[in-house]
Structure 1
Amino acid sequence: MNRTIVLASNNAGKLKEFGELLGPLGFNLRTQGEFNVPEAEEPHPTFVENALAKARHASRLTGLPALADDSGVCANALGGAPGVLSARFAGEPRSDLRNNRKLIEELAAQADKSAYYYCVLVLVRHADDPQPVIAEGRWDGDIVAEPRGQGGFGYDPHFWLPSLQKTAAELSAQEKNRMSHRGQALRVLVEKLR
């Protein structure tokens, strides 16, 4: 397999996080923006289908192996919503503030505030790879109405971790990477690549 992998994202944080674990294995990770690859459509109802579509799109346009992720927060009382719509839960333009407000409002009448972050990573060796490498991670917590913490992004200020008595936004970057859904999925991927 080519040692250069296209990250089907332009997120600098993801590039750094993924690069730290994949670099020691000899992989050189580059963002799709470096190849002028536009963002892929994400029309599917599942995380794995969206991640696969993004990976195939980046691979097809660059001719290189590609890695994509799809992730979101899933509230149990809402049947897994916002789920794949996490980034656009309150509509366009994307807004963490409005997304969080909508989630809190929809959970207000629910006794069950449990939720989990879910991430799926998909690596394709080429655009038509019949056996993509797939890795998943899940991080359980509860949704709290009052935001806490300055770190993280998205739903982190409302994602309460009972065992730590903190929200995800109150964790250091190192703590979050060690425990998070994305960190878990990335470690599974690394083990599969070894």
Structure 2
Amino acid sequence: MIDILVVTKNSGKLKEILDIFECKDIRLKTLIDFPPLNVEENGNSFFENAYLKAKIAVDTFNIISMGEDSGLVVKALNGKPGIFSKRFAGPDATDLENNMKLLELIKEIPFNQREAYFISSVVVMKQDGNYIKGEGMLHGYIIDEMKGTGGFGYDPIFYIPEYGKTLAELGDEIKNKISHRYKALMEIKSQLKKFLNL
């Protein structure tokens, strides 16, 4: 059994990763099992932030580590909130505050011009610095109001035309089979056996 540390303090993200990522030879560990770790997300891309998270955990705890960074990209807002998705309305902003700021910015933009996508970048790094990466996207639109109680982050305002619902209305079972994070983790999973010599 090989341990991999999932480097996130975001409980919603952690739950999704643990729900999605099942591999019989791998045991996922969480930061709860380790001393406090301070990770500065100062990269210029989702990949750089995921890489930084994995690297600092490997360097600090000497354990194979998984870093993940994700966010929402709205084309009509020149890619905002982007890598600042979690702190869009301020350093300690809540999901509600971030959603309200985004809704305010797009209120004059017609629905058909509110194309957006979620992106997830995942890096798994070994103690020798070698790593694999995966990336996933989920396309949709930003609606006018929050709908649904599931998920977290921008899920209540992210509308998926194929389902006629927001991500927050879909429920975990469907979300965890179509999400950007699911796609990125499946890319990682497809490389893991070779990467870890399983």
TM-score by length of 1: 0.91
Q: CA deviation at 1:188?
A: 1.0
The more displaced of 69-78 and 11-20 is 11-20
How many residues align structurally?
191
Q: CA deviation at 1:37?
A: 3.5
In structure 2, the residue matched to 1:141 is: 140
1-structure distance, mates of 2:9, 2:74: 27
Give the residue type in structure 2 aligned to 1:87.
K
Q: How does 1:1-194 map to 2 (within 5 A)?
A: 3-20=2-19, 22-111=21-110, 112-126=113-127, 129=129, 131-194=130-193
Q: CA deviation at 1:34?
A: 1.1
Residue deviations 1:24-63 (CA, integer Å, cap 9, x gap) = 3411111123111323000112100011001001111111
Q: Would you identify which runs of 4 or more consecutive aligned residues in structure 1 move more than 6 Å? A: none
- With over 3 angstroms needed to count, the CA separation of the structure-2 counterparts of 1:85 and 1:36, relative to structure 1, is same
2-structure distance, mates of 1:26, 1:16: 20
The more displaced of 17-26 and 4-13 is 17-26
Give the residue type in structure 2 aligned to 1:42.
E
- With over 3 angstroms needed to count, the CA separation of the structure-2 counterparts of 1:12 and 1:108, relative to structure 1, is closer
1-structure distance, mates of 2:69, 2:11: 16
Q: CA RMSD in A?
A: 1.7
The more displaced of 91-100 and 133-142 is 91-100
2-structure distance, mates of 1:78, 1:90: 15
- With over 3 angstroms needed to count, the CA separation of the structure-2 counterparts of 1:69 and 1:163, relative to structure 1, is same
Q: CA deviation at 1:18?
A: 3.2
Identity of matched residues, %: 37
Give the residue type in structure 2 aligned to 1:115.
A
TM-score by length of 2: 0.90
